[in-house]
Homo-oligomer: A and B are copies of this chain.
Amino acid sequence: MENSAKGSELSKYSTLGKEIPQVNHRAKVMGRAQYAGDLKLPGMLHGAILRSPYAHARIVRIDVSAARALPGVKAVLTGEDAPATPWGGGPIKERYVLAKGVVRFAGEEVAAVAALTEDIARDALDLIQVEYEELPALLTPEQALSEDAPTVHPERKNNIAHEIEFHRGDVEAGFASADLVFEATYSTSRQYPGYLEPMVSVASLESDDRLHVWTSTQTVFLARSRIAKALELPISSVRVIQQTTGGGFGGKIVEDDNQLVAGLLALHTRRPVRLLNNRLEDFLSCCTSVPEQITLKLGMTREGLVVAKDVHIVADCGAYSGLAGEVMHVSAMRSDNMQRNMNVRCHADLVYTNTPPHGAFRGFGGSQMLFALNSHIDAMARELGLDPAVIHERNAMEQGETTVHGWKIRSTGFKQCLVHATEAIDWANKRAAPRGTGVRRRGVGLAAAMHVCGNRTMGDWDGSTVMLALNDDGGITARSGECDMGQGAMTMITQIIANEFKVPLSAVRLLPPDTDSAPFALGTFASRVTMSAGNAAIRASHAARDKLFALAATLLQVAPGDLEMADGGGVQLRGSDKTLSLAELARAHVWRHGGEILQVSGTWDPDTEEPDEQLYGNCAPTHSFAAQAIEVEVDTETGQVTVLDSFLSDDLGRALNLTAVHGQANGGNVQAIGWALYEDLRVEDGRIVNGNFADYTMPTAESVPMLRGDFVESMDPVGPYGAKASSETAILMAAPAIANAVYDAVGVRIRDLPITPEKVLAGLQAKKEQQGAVNA
C-alpha cells in the first residue's frame, strides 16, 4: 500500500511481538518516576479550588477578605480575576476558568487559592464567603427538553449543545422489506475514569517570561493551545511538559480545568503553583462518560441481514459541552460501519443540563451504541431463531469494501474474532444446555465491536512526526509529541526504532513530550498513536538509514545499495564483515567538512478524508475489530451477576508488545465489566453523591474471572508491521455481552446500565408476574 511506511523485517534484536516490560518500568517500580505532583520548584505554592455546592445559582457576592488575610495565603482569585475569554474542551467556548456571576453545576470552580502549603490553601477555602441565589436547575435531559424549560446557557434557547442528523439509503423502504422490525430504548450511566493519578499540574511563569506547565496529560500540544487561549496568552508563550502520567482513559485530553486554574494562579502570584486534585475533587471536576438514551430500531430479514437502522439519541451533556458532541458522533455513526446495511438514519441531540460535564472516555461513545446494538442483535436473533454470532458474521463488512459512511475497510479479522470467542467459550453447547431452575443460573452472551485507529476530525491532519538524532556514542535520541499515559506508547515507538536500527531497546532514548522540543503532535486519543507515530517512527528510521548508507558508501567506497543495517547497530557491506558502527558513523557525519549532526524527521499522515458536511468520508486509516463471549452466573435470589468466564478476541492487526496489548485488552475489559455491573456516578439533585472509592465501586480482582483472550493478527497493509490499535476496542463489548448472558441465564433483558442486582430482581419479578398473568 502506498501510504504504508513499510517496516523492515524483524532483526534478531527485535522485541516486536514479544513480551517486554515498558521502557520506563524501572523508574516506576523504583518510585523514581516523576509525576507532576512530585515536582518541587523553588518558591512553589499550593493551590486549591472552591466549588459551587449548587447545580445552578447566581453568585451574588464573594467576600475573600478573610481568606486573603490568612497567613501564608498568597492569592485568592474569583471570576473577576479570570480572563474574559471563555474556554471549552471542544468546539464551543462557553466556560470561564473561574465562574463569572453564575454557576451551572455543583462542582463548578468559583474561587481559587494559592498558599504556602496545601493545608493553608484548603483552610483559606473555608474562609471564602459566597452568597448564592439558587436558580431552577435542569437535572435531566427530559427536563431540559421540556417546552417551558429555563436555559442552562441563555444564548442556547433550546438547551441543545449539538445536534446530528443524517439519512443514507432509504430507511423506510428498508423497514418495509424487513421480516422483523424491533425497537427498544437503552440507557447508559456515567463512568468515572478512575485512573490511579488524579489530575495535577504545576504551572510557573519562568525566567523566559513564559508559562511552563508540567502536567498529567494525553496531549501536550492541544493542552498548550487550550491553556494559551483560556489564559489569553500567545501559544508560543506557553510550554507544556508531560510528566509521568498515571492513566488517562480520555479524562486527560482537553476538558480539565486543573491546568487552567494552576496557570491562572501562577500568572497572578508570579510563583510556581502546584494544583493537585484530591480524589473527591477529581470526581467533581473530571468529565465522566456521556450518559446516553438510545432508541434503536432495526429491520432484519429472516436470514438476519440488517436492512434498516434508525437511531435516536438523547445525550446528557452536563453544563458545558467539551468533547461530548464528538462522543455523540461516534455513538451515532461508528457501529453503522460494521455492517453492510446501507439504510441508516439518525437523529441525536446533546442536551445541556445543570450537572457535571461529560466527555471523552475510553471507547469514546462506541460503548454506548454497541451496548444497544449488541443487545438488539441478541434479542432479534432469539426472535428469528438465529445465532447472534451468525447475524454478526452475515452482516460483516469485508476487506476492500466501503461502508455506508464511506469508510474503507482495509483489513478485518472480525469473522475470526467471532469464531475464536465463541469456540473458546463453548458457545454452541452452552447456549443449547438447559438453564434449569436452580437459584444460580448460568448463561452466555456475545458482543462484537469495531474501533478506529486514528480519526481525521481534528482539522485536516491525523499524522505524527518522530525525530531522531544520533549521539557520538551511537545512541539514538528520539522525540515525539505523543503521550504515554501508561499504555505503552513510549515503549512501542522505542521498539520500532530499535527494530529498524537492529539495536537493543536500551540504545534508543525516547524523550517525554515537551512542546518546546517535541515535534507537533495531536496526542493520545482515538487509538491513533500506534498507527500514526508507529509509521512516523519507521519513516524517521528509514530517513536516518538513507543518510547512514550514503555516508558509509563514501567511507567504504561501495554503492549504497550494497549496504544493510548490521545486527547490533551499524552499517554493513552485505555479505562481508566490513561494518561501520553507529558511533563511528555518527561522528563521521559531523566531523568532516560540511558535516552536520545526523538528525532526521519522519512524518506519516494517513490518506484519510475529513468527513464532509453530510458526515461522509473515510476518516480513519483502518479499523480494529473484536468479539467477546462472556459466561455469567445469576443468583436469582439476590440478583447478583457474577462473570465466570470471558474470552476476548481482538483483531489488533499485529501485536507489537504482547505484555502491553494483553494489559490493554484486560484493562479495557475490566473497565467495561465495571461499567456493566458496578460503576455509576450518581448525581442526585445535581450533586455527585458517590464521588469516592468507597461508594463508587470499581471492579476488584474478586469480581473478575481469569480473563482469557487472543489476538487476531490481520496484518493491516497500512499499519506499522501490520499493527492497528489496541486499548479502546476491548472496552466496547463486556456490557452487552453480560446483558446478553444475563438474558441467556434468566430471561431478563436489562437495557439500563449498570446491571444491578435490584434491576435483575425487578426483571425476574416482572417476568414472574407476566408468566403468572399468562398462566392465569
When the two chains form their complex, are residues B42 and A40 in contact, meaning their CB atoms are under 8 A apart? yes
Instruction: Choose from B516, B587, B591 the contact partner of A477 (Cβ within 8 Å).
Output: B516
A209-B30 Cα distance, complex, nearest whole Å: 11
Name, among A33, A40, A596, A605, the residue most crowded by chain B CB atoms within 10 Å (CB to CB).
Answer: A596
Closest-CB distance, A267 to chain B (whole angstroms): 14
Chain B hits for A210, CB < 8 A: 509
Of the stretches A435-443, A463-471, A752-760, the one at the interface is A463-471
When the two chains form their complex, are residues B207 and A461 in contact, meaning their CB atoms are under 8 A apart? no
Q: Is A34 an interface residue (CB 8 A)?
A: yes
When the two chains form their complex, are residues A591 and B460 in contact, meaning their CB atoms are under 8 A apart? yes
Q: Is A84 an interface residue (CB 8 A)?
A: no
A62-B82 Cα distance, complex, nearest whole Å: 62
A608-B206 Cα distance, complex, nearest whole Å: 40
A439-474 with Cβ < 8 A to chain B? 459-461, 463, 465, 469, 471-474
When the two chains form their complex, are residues B595 and A460 in contact, meaning their CB atoms are under 8 A apart? yes
Of the stretches A109-117, A192-200, A228-236, the one at the interface is A228-236
Given A517-B511, A597-B520: A32 and B460 interface contact (C-beta under 8 Å): no
A511-B228 Cα distance, complex, nearest whole Å: 19
Chain B hits for A592, CB < 8 A: 460-461
When the two chains form their complex, are residues A473 and B590 in contact, meaning their CB atoms are under 8 A apart? no
Q: Is A593 an interface residue (CB 8 A)?
A: yes
Contact with B along A204-223 (1 / 0, CB 8 A): 00111110000000000000
Q: Is A173 an interface residue (CB 8 A)?
A: no
Closest-CB distance, A749 to chain B (whole angstroms): 45
When the two chains form their complex, are residues A24 and B208 in contact, meaning their CB atoms are under 8 A apart? yes
A235-B225 Cα distance, complex, nearest whole Å: 35
Instruction: Choose from B244, B459, B591 the contact partner of A461 (Cβ within 8 Å).
Output: B591
A237-B507 Cα distance, complex, nearest whole Å: 10
Given A236-B477, A594-B463, A605-B594: A32 and B207 interface contact (C-beta under 8 Å): yes
Closest to A30 in B: B207
Closest-CB distance, A174 to chain B (whole angstroms): 34
Q: Is A38 an interface residue (CB 8 A)?
A: yes
Closest-CB distance, A233 to chain B (whole angstroms): 9
Contact with B along A31-68 (1 / 0, CB 8 A): 01110001111100000000000000000000000000
Q: Is A339 an interface residue (CB 8 A)?
A: no
When the two chains form their complex, are residues B236 and A471 in contact, meaning their CB atoms are under 8 A apart? yes
Contact with B along A503-546 (1 / 0, CB 8 A): 00001010100101101100000000000000000000000000
When the two chains form their complex, are residues A235 and B599 in contact, meaning their CB atoms are under 8 A apart? no
Given A236-B473, A473-B235: A509 and B208 interface contact (C-beta under 8 Å): yes
Q: Is A607 an interface residue (CB 8 A)?
A: yes
Chain B hits for A559, CB < 8 A: none
Chain B hits for A41, CB < 8 A: 40
When the two chains form their complex, are residues A517 and B517 in contact, meaning their CB atoms are under 8 A apart? yes
Q: Interface size on A (CB < 8 Å)?
A: 60
Name, among A206, A207, A228, A591, the residue most crowded by chain B CB atoms within 10 Å (CB to CB).
Answer: A207
Q: Is A601 an interface residue (CB 8 A)?
A: yes
Given A517-B517, A594-B463: A209 and B27 interface contact (C-beta under 8 Å): yes
Closest to A509 in B: B236
When the two chains form their complex, are residues B459 and A591 in contact, meaning their CB atoms are under 8 A apart? yes
Closest to A481 in B: B597
Chain B hits for A228, CB < 8 A: 473
Instruction: Choose from B33, B206, B520, B605 the contact partner of A34 (Cβ within 8 Å).
Output: B206
Instruction: Choose from B38, B209, B599 the contact partner of A519 (Cβ within 8 Å).
Output: B599
Q: Is A395 an interface residue (CB 8 A)?
A: no
Closest-CB distance, A241 to chain B (whole angstroms): 11
Instruction: Choose from B27, B475, B591 the contact partner of A234 (Cβ within 8 Å).
Output: B475
Q: Is A382 an interface residue (CB 8 A)?
A: no
Name, among A235, A514, A607, the residue most crowded by chain B CB atoms within 10 Å (CB to CB).
Answer: A235
A27-B461 Cα distance, complex, nearest whole Å: 37
- Report 22 cross-chain contacts, Cβ distance below 8 Å, ordered by A residue: A24-B208, A27-B209, A32-B207, A33-B207, A34-B206, A34-B207, A40-B41, A225-B472, A235-B471, A235-B472, A236-B475, A236-B476, A236-B477, A459-B587, A460-B591, A460-B595, A461-B592, A461-B595, A463-B590, A463-B594, A511-B516, A599-B601
The 10 closest A-B pairs by CB, nearest first: A236-B475, A517-B517, A596-B603, A520-B597, A27-B207, A235-B473, A459-B591, A32-B207, A40-B42, A236-B471
For the A-B complex with A27-B208, A33-B207, A235-B473 known, give 9 more contacts whose Cβ atoms are closer than 8 Å.
A34-B207, A39-B42, A235-B472, A236-B477, A236-B509, A461-B593, A469-B519, A514-B517, A593-B608
